[in-house]
Amino acid sequence: MEFEEEEEELIESKPKYSEAEKYRIFDKEFMPHVDSMYNFAFRLTNDEDDANDLMQDTFMKAFRFINSFQEGTNSKAWLFRILKNSFINDYRKKSKEPSKVDYQEVETVYNSTEDAEYESTTDLRIEAVQDMIGDEVAMALNGLPVDFRTVIILCDIEGFTYEEMAKILDIPIGTVRSRLHRARNLLKEKLRSYAKSMGYKELR
């Protein structure tokens, strides 16, 4: 659904760039984000080939609909939005990820367990987080359902503001805030179990 909206929005725009300008904009505004885009695609799909395809599809789409991009505006957010929509529409269905849980469903579940969740995350110690290596943090992140993983990637790894995230994800800022909050509680849960296993190793 989101995709159709996007296509409409993209198609409606009037051509304004010459062929030479298109190439210049593509090179100057889009290509510098190629690593961030690939990283995002890889963290979403957890698969190199899928990340490869997803990234190329996104750039092809960006080029095809370049007239709907206003030069000088936030090209990174614009590209991330296209990538996210392509992922939802083209990759999510065939993705190798096992559990496909609906946003609403997940958010309802975590709403009802908010208190219990908080109690159980209090014993995660800062020292344990600081001692963790990147792979452990990355594994905890990868273990999150994709919608929660996405907000953490956008916010903490890519450094987007809530306003930018709202645009990329097509959700209100309030939803960005609560989804992030829930994502972080889930992440703390994961980190806590890693911390526990680390402690176990140390005792042995």
Partner 1 sequence: MAQCSGNELMKEECENHEKCMKMIQAVLDGSATPDEIEHFKNNIEVCKPCVDGYELEKSIKESLKTKVSKVCCPQKTIEQLKVKIGIGLLLILGLVIKIKVIQEIFI
Contact by Cβ (8 Å): 83, 58: yes
Query: With binding defined as CB under 8 A, does residue 106 bind partner 1?
Result: no
Q: Which is nearer to partner 1, 100 or 172 (CB)?
A: 172
Binding to partner 1 by residue 109, rule CB under 8 A? no
Nearer to partner 1, 104 or 122 (CB): 122
Q: Which range in 35-43, 72-80, 84-92, 96-104 contacts partner 1 by CB under 8 A? A: 35-43
- Which of 42-49's residues contact partners 24+ apart within 8 Å by CB, and which partners? 43/141, 43/142, 43/149, 43/153, 43/157, 44/84, 44/87, 44/91, 44/146, 44/149, 44/150, 44/153, 45/87, 45/91, 45/95, 46/96, 46/97, 46/142, 47/95, 47/96
> CB under 8 Å to 179, separation ≥6 — which residues?
107, 147, 148, 151, 171
CB of 63 to partner 1, least distance (A): 6
* Residue 123 binds to partner 1 (criterion: CB under 8 A): no
Residue 180 CB neighbours (<10 A): 18
Identify residue 96 by its one-letter amino acid code: K
Smallest distance from the beta carbon of 1 to partner 1, in angstroms?
A: 27
Q: How far is the CB of 129 from partner 1 (least distance, A)?
A: 5
Assign residue 46 a region (left: φ > 0; alpha: ψ between -120 and 50; beta: otherwise): left
25 binds partner 1 (CB under 8 A): no
By CB under 8 A, the residues from 175 to 204 that bind partner 1 are 177-178, 180-181, 184, 187-188, 191
CB count in 10 Å sphere of residue 51: 21
Q: Segment 132-171, which members bind partner 1 (CB under 8 A)?
A: 132-134, 137-138, 141, 152, 155-157, 159, 161-163
Residue 162 beta carbon to partner 1: minimum distance, rounded to whole angstroms: 4
Choose between 6 and 110: whose C-beta lies nearer to partner 1.
110
d(CA 87, CA 70): 23
Give the interface with partner 1 as residue ranges (CB under 8 A): 19, 23, 26, 34-39, 42-43, 51-52, 55-56, 59-60, 63-64, 114, 118, 122, 124, 126, 129-130, 132-134, 137-138, 141, 152, 155-157, 159, 161-163, 177-178, 180-181, 184, 187-188, 191
